[in-house]
Every structure is written in structure tokens, then in C-alpha cells.
Copies of this chain bind each other. A is one copy, B any other.
Amino acid sequence: LSPVMFSGEAKCFLKYVFFSSGCRYVSKAAAKAQMEFDYDGPSMKTAVPGPRSQELTKQLGDIQNVGAVNFFCNYEESRGNYLVDVDGNRMLDIYTQISSIPIGYNHPALLKLMTNPNNLSTFVNRPALGILPPENFPDKIAESLLSVAPSGMTRVQTMACGSCSNENAYKAMFIWYRNKERGYKTPSDEDHSTCMINQAPGCPDLSILSFMGAFHGRTMGCLATTHSKVIHKLDVPSFDWPIAPFPKLQYPLEEFTRENALEEARCLEEVEDLIVKWRQKGKPVAGIVIEPIQAEGGDNHASPDFFRRLRDIARKHGCAFHVDEVQTGGGGTGKFWAHEHWGMDDPADIVSFSKKLLTGGYYHKDELQADKYPGILSRARGQGTFCAIDICDGATRDTILVKARDKGVLLGGCGDRSIRFRPALVFKEYHVHLLLNIFNDVLANHK
């Protein structure tokens, strides 16, 4: 890795990335070894793809689609910054497997981890992590993924790839949104029966707002938010979800300050318009998903201010805000997460990752965990703005009232264990979202 680009951050990768035993950091010695490990320059023997690559492409073509194959590689001989192909060509690799090599080819510290006998039983036994996790799982997650958790995120769900990470992040946003809509009540019998046959209200008509030029993966949920290339989307059924324009900035930035500010304002205005339109259509926007830099779509950037305002729009309209860091996470932008450039304490509700992190998953805020609160809430009732809900017991009710007040929401109690809601007559939909977000936060943190 270029020491200029990354300064001290490069050596953090392994610490954060891998569920390593007794390998809490990569020492300076290891970083030095990596530098020495590099070849001294490119070395080209044939045109690329060379004859051996062409032969292998033909062979593979008999059993797989090879439309995208560039050439075949010799991964044993590849080192550091250099990828070696099967015809003996050695190339300085500035693409790194679509940004998926965490440090460099065959980094000695990674090789060591892979051959560490303590990690072996996890590799060969394929634990069903959700039901039968290994003993060291909580510690390893805490030492690795949680040690680089984005600001405001305390929970992480691991996944196998980037598409699965985004798919499941979307599901978490839908569940969170429906819970808000239901007032955190237990789902109804109708919810249960209709979801089994793909119908509303069990499978609700909710949407995710994405941006033109975005790439969030190729499974069908992700694909409905991907708008980068025809080849990804053509012939696959999709959802009628809103798509906003991503700013097209003019460069050099310092010469187009005014134009770019106007362009970003235009895109943000369109985002709000789409949220309102889709709500009116009966397909409310449960979440907004965005890449900090649109990579597949053309390396399109926007200013930190754009993202901060977008975050505010999401909050105002009660949409979850999902930052997709599958391509940008892991140090490539000069920060561990690209969203750190925005300088926010509360940059997102969900941050997904994969690629350089060699595993996949998403971080999320407490209130976006899939757990429900059926043990706490019951008997939701009301007429107009005159509403109430019962809490499991009086003491819990009182605690919730105090905690909500500490977060800036005034509620009243009534009866032994009820909470009464008496909003003003000028209470708007976004006030509802404000209330429910904070109320949810209180419930999520209730132990």
C-alpha cells in the first residue's frame, strides 16, 4: 500500500477485518515485510489476454459464461501491488479485484491467519452462526468489526457478501418502518396470513429510494435500487420504487462552487418530492440508500454538505438512512469509512460493508434491530389525536416517560400503566416520525 495515501491506517486493516486469534494488530514489522514483498515493476511478456489465458477462456466457456473474463491469473505468484497472469505478465494492479483486496496480494499476515490452527475448525465446520455460534464469536466481533463501528452504531449483523448485506439491511428498514406504522403493536392475524401469500398488509407496499447511477448489488431487492448499467437490470422483474438524480458536479470544484451548490439543491429537492409522491401513491419510502461515492456508476462524488442535508431529509420524513460502504469501506478513501468525511456524529441508521473487509454485513442503530416489543406494549387505542397504549407494568411505564423526556419528548401517564398521547392539532406527519423514532429508541434501550 502506498504510504502516502494511507499513512497509519493501512496497518489497521487486519485488526479490524479478520476474526483473528491473538492477532490484535499488524505490527510495524509486518507492514515493512509487506513493502519488501513487492516486485520491482511491471513485466509484460505477451499481449493480454495471452495465449494461455485465451486457451483457458475457451475451456471455461464450455461450462460457464465467460463474457466478463479479462484474463486468467496466477495467484500464487501475485504479490503486494502486483497481479501475475498465467502467461507470465506481471501488472501493477490499480483495480485490486474490484477493490476487494484488503492489503495486497498474498500478504504474509493474512497467510499466517489462514494457516493458524486455531482458526481452522471455524473454516471447515461452517457453523450456522445464527443458531450455533462458536464460543469466541462475541469477542471476535467486538475485537474486529465493532472496533471500527461507524459513529452511533453499536450493533452489527454479519453476512456472506455485499448483495446479501444490502438485501438484509433493506429488510431491517422495512421491518423497522412497519413497526412504527403499527405503533409497535404485535402484528395482526391479517398481517400473518397475508404475508404467506405475498400480499399486503403482511408484505406491505413499501419502497426504498435510490439514486440514478447507483450500484447496490444484483439480487432482486438490491437490483431494484441499482441503476448503473443495462446489463445488470435487463429482463429482471423489479419494484416500482423512486429513483432520485445524483448530483453531477462540474470540475474543478473551486471554479463551479455556485453551479454545484445549485445542482445539489436540485437533487435534494427531487428527493423530497419523490418521498411525498410515493407516500401519496401508497408506497411510502421506508429507507434511503446511497453510496458515499457512486463507484460502478462512474465515480460520482457529492459534497459532505449534500449528504448531511440528505440525512436530515431522511430524518424529517421518517425514512431510515442507509449508507452503502461495500465499495468504499476499509480505508480506500483515506478514512476507514468514506462517510467519516462528512464529519457527523450520527451519519446513518445503517452502514453496509463487504469486499475489503473479507466478510459482509451491516452495522445498525439500536432501534433497527429486528426484535419486537410484544412483552412491553399492548392495547394500543385511540380516536383522532387522542391515543394511548399500555405498558407491561407501572414501574416500566414511569421509566419510559422519564427516558422519553430526557430525549426531548413529553408524554403523560394515565391509569396504572398506560401512556397517553395528546399531541397538538398542528401535529404533522413528520412530528409523528420524530415521536416514533425517539419512542422506539427508548424501547430499544429498555432492559
- Structural contact, B63 and A138, CB atoms closer than 8 A: yes
- A218 engages B160 (CB within 8 Å): no
A132 touches which of B71, B130, B134 (Cβ 8 Å): B71
Instruction: Give the contacts of A47-92 with B (CB-CB under 8 A).
Output: 52, 56, 59-60, 62-65, 67-76, 78, 83, 86
Query: A141 touching B73 by the CB < 8 A rule?
Result: no
Task: Check if B197 sits within 8 Å of A243, measured CB to CB.
Answer: yes
Is A43 on the interface with B (CB-CB < 8 A)? no
Interface centre among A197, A204, A218 (most CB of B within 10 A): A197
Contact A141 B64 (CB under 8 A): yes
Asked whether A236 lies within 8 Å of B64 as measured between CB atoms, the reply is no
Q: Which residues of B contact A196 (CB under 8 A)?
A: 212, 227, 230, 233
Contact in complex: B371, A234 (CB < 8 Å): no
Contact residues of A between 362 and 403, Cβ < 8 Å to B: 369-371
Q: Hey, what's the 0/1 contact readout for A155-170 against B, CB within 8 Å counting as 1?
A: 1111011011001101
Contact, CB under 8 Å: A192 / B125:
no
Shortest Cβ distance from A125 into B: residue? B75
Minimum Cβ distance to chain B for residue A232 (Å):
9
Q: Residues of B contacting A83 with CB < 8 Å? A: 132
Contact B371 A133 (CB under 8 A): no
Q: Given A202-B234, A234-B195, A237-B174, does the pair A59, B128 have CB atoms closer than 8 Å? A: no
Looking at the assembled complex, report how far the CB atom of A401 sits from the nearest CB atom of chain B, in whole angstroms. Answer: 25
Enumerate 27 A-B pairs (CB-CB under 8 Å) in ascending A order.
Answer: A63-B142, A64-B141, A65-B369, A67-B370, A68-B130, A70-B131, A72-B132, A73-B135, A76-B121, A97-B132, A106-B125, A107-B124, A114-B120, A115-B120, A160-B161, A163-B167, A163-B219, A167-B219, A168-B219, A171-B236, A174-B237, A191-B234, A196-B227, A198-B238, A202-B233, A203-B238, A204-B237
The 3 closest A-B pairs by CB, nearest first: A220-B221, A203-B238, A198-B238
